């Protein structure tokens, strides 16, 4: 009896360790594999065949988009629970996770474009102070910073051939993250129409954009803990299922093959999804208000 309890406890601990590894991203193995494959060290990190196995695993993880792991998890649960319902849930989760991934990629692109606009303002101010004409300075700074994004060719063409540079900058400011180009367009109009110092205006614009970016980054840092807590709490039911299976309760059979279990599964899934959506919506709303 004590042996059975010890085995159950060991299985429970193993399940908890696997869940913690999954929640943390499980990147340590891939990182060690990259070090081994690059010759960064071979002693004490695994058996002789570990570099090749870990390298293949890292390549598989890199090729699979994040959303397809939903289908993989659903297939595994379907095999363990002898039911097609987890596969259907995994298929339904693919578009949701794809949307989350694309939103994260769009946010990274937007942040990168905002940083490029700040760099463009600083570079342009430096070129103007060096004695270059505004159009010539914009040509030089625009090629190096990348802050003009997809409309770089149109803005540089306007600067090179005497076109309407403020209008071209205003059009470029419609890109997500490039809103600071509207301020650059205003500085350009004031400098050209009224003869004001373009470099001083660009310095003030750069400082304002940098302060706004730092404020947004500080808010995200403050919300990171709340977001991680919400995601971790959302994963606790899976840990509970793993513990129940380790203790011999067979929760998958109860949830997938009994009417009361199916009702609990549907109700719990709906409440879980609503809770996670509401928590993330509150944090996203705070970011949007500050931005």
Cβ–Cβ contacts within 10 Å for residue 43, how many? Answer: 5
104 φ/ψ angles, rounded to the nearest 5 degrees: -65, -40
Is residue 5 classed as helix, strand or coil in its secondary structure? helix
Using a 10 angstrom Cβ sphere, with 0-12 exposed, 13-18 middle and 19 or more buried, the burial of residue 81 is: buried
DSSP characters over 230-258: HHHHHHHHHHHHHHHHHTT--HHHHHHHS
Q: What is the pLDDT along the chain (291 residues), one digit of tens a residue?
A: 434 444 444 444 444 444 444 444 444 444 444 444 444 444 444 555 556 665 665 665 555 677 788 888 888 888 888 888 888 888 888 888 888 888 889 989 989 989 999 998 898 888 888 888 888 888 888 877 766 767 788 888 888 888 888 898 898 888 888 889 899 999 888 887 665 678 888 899 999 999 999 988 888 888 888 888 888 888 888 888 888 888 888 888 888 889 998 999 899 889 988 988 888 888 888 777 655
34: number of Cβ within 10 Å: 14
pTM: 0.68
């Amino acid at each position: 009896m004590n042996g059975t309890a010890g085995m159950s406890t060991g299985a429970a601990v193993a399940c908890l360790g696997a869940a913690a590894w999954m929640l943390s991203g499980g990147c340590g193995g891939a990182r060690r594999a990259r070090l081994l494959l690059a010759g960064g060290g071979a002693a004490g990190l695994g058996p002789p065949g570990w570099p090749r196995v870990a390298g293949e695993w890292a390549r598989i993880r890199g090729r699979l988009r994040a959303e397809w792991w939903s289908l993989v998890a659903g297939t595994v649960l379907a095999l363990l629970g002898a039911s097609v319902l987890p596969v259907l849930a995994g298929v339904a989760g693919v578009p949701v996770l794809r949307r989350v991934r694309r939103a994260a990629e769009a946010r990274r692109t937007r942040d990168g474009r905002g940083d490029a606009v700040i760099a463009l303002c600083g570079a342009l101010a430096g070129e103007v102070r060096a004695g270059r004409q505004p159009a010539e300075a914009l040509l030089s700074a625009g090629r190096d910073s990348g802050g003009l994004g997809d409309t770089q060719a149109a803005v540089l063409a306007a600067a090179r051939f005497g076109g309407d540079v403020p209008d071209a900058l205003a059009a470029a400011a419609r890109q997500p993250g490039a809103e600071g180009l509207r301020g650059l367009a205003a500085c350009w109009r004031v400098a050209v129409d009224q003869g004001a110092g373009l470099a001083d205006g660009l310095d003030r614009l750069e400082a304002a954009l940098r302060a706004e970016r730092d404020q947004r980054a500080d808010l995200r840092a403050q919300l990171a803990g709340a977001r991680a807590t919400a995601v971790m709490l959302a994963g606790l039911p899976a840990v509970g299922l793993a513990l129940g299976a380790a203790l011999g309760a067979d929760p998958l059979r109860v949830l997938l093959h009994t009417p009361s279990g199916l009702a609990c599964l549907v109700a719990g899934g709906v409440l879980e999804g609503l809770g996670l959506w509401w928590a993330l919506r509150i944090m996203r709303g705070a970011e949007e208000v500050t931005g």
